[in-house]
Amino acid sequence: MRLYLASTSPARRALLAQTGIEPVLVAPGVDEDAAVAAASAALGRDLTGPELVGLLAVAKADAVADARIAGSPVDGFVFGGDSAFEVDGVLYGKPHDPEVARERWRQMLAAGGGTLWSGHCVVDRRLDRGADAALDSTTDRTGGAGRAGTVPPVRQVDPSGGGALGVAGHLGDVEPGGSTLVAAGDHVVAVDSAVLTFADDMDPEEIDAYVATGEPLEVAGAFTIDGRAAAYITRIDGAPSAVVGLSLPVLRSMLLRGLGVAWHDLWSL
């Protein structure tokens, strides 16, 4: 089975590749700022972290799901993802500018850490899927993900009841370090999160050196754990892959419990 990645992120592609999945990369071409602004205006308030990453994950997946790739329709599963880092109630995306990145790091270190929100959306676009490919709309598939139930069940929701946020409007409140999964028709949407703690002895010289590498400028929160910033992160409560931009345990559960597809069915053998 083919997995289309609605992203050109090298980190997400590498994450999937190391698990045996070779995705087809497609740039979604979504105006993220406009999508967030429209939803915020409709709601009359700023979006929460889970709402923001869920909304954009769905927008990216939908943009690719309805596209034609090399002249042919999509045939497989489309994954869209988005990330944001929250510190003391403030959401941070990509800083782009070095001085913005330095200020972000000063704020993050002063707070001691923050929460990385990771939005996920999988759209089933298999051309040969049957009418029963998705779960029955009246059934929540519980399944299991460890003794403590580390990944919650997939809740079936009405796709028309999410308001301005669409399916993402059903995600509800998510505690830092927690996750939630919902399904609506051929869409499965989830948010996972991880709480990060930074080194308490990082000094301004180290911040300047890290920013000078350029690594933090185009990543949510101005850091990555799969690069030079790994040495500055002392603890992660949650799936480390979620911090990279794609929670592998949650994606597996979305496919298995939301669409009845085993993880190994996507392996490139």
82 is catalytic: yes
Burial class (CB in 10 A: 0-12, 13-18, 19+), 169: buried
Residue listed under structure tokens 């399904």: 183
- Cα 37 to Cα 47: distance, rounded to the nearest angstrom: 9
- Selection from 2, 117, 126, 121 nearest residue 60 by Cα: 121
User: Residue 221 in contact with residue 119, Cβ under 8 Å?
Assistant: no
Catalytic residue among 82, 124, 186, 192: 82
Q: Read off the amino acid at residue 254.
A: M
Q: According to DSSP H, which parts of the chain are helical?
A: 10-18, 32-43, 49-65, 98-111, 204-212, 240-244, 248-253, 259
| DSSP helix/strand/coil, 196 | strand
- Cα 6 to Cα 82: distance, rounded to the nearest angstrom: 10
Q: What is the DSSP letter of 245?
A: T
Residues annotated catalytic, as ranges: 82
